[in-house]
Amino acid sequence: FVEFHLVVQNDMTVDEAHDICDRVEAAIRNELGRASIHIHVEPSDKAKHSGVLVLS
């Protein structure tokens, strides 16, 4: 089971955020195999938590 919040730029489109989620989910599945993965997408100005920042 994997669950986390993915904080994206405020101006990111839903399609762009969804593409990132798909890539992250595929990478997790590649490492863990079968897993229940839940990704919660939040715009950066609404994020309640801070953590790791990944820039692409």
Say whether 52 sits in a helix, a strand or coil: coil
pLDDT score at 44: 85
Indicate the helix (H) or strand (E) that contains 21.
Answer: helix 14-32
48 lies in some domain: no
29 lies in some domain: yes
52 lies in some domain: no
Residue-wise pLDDT for 16-52, tens only, equals 999 999 999 999 999 999 999 999 999 988 877 666 6
56 lies in some domain: no
23 lies in some domain: yes
User: Which residues in 18-55 are b (16+ Cβ under 10 Å) and which e?
Assistant: eebbeebeeeeeeeeeeeebebeeeeeeeeeeeeeeee
49 lies in some domain: no
Say whether 10 sits in a helix, a strand or coil: coil
Question: Which domain range does residue 38 map to?
Answer: 2-43
CATH number at residue 8: 3.30.70.1350
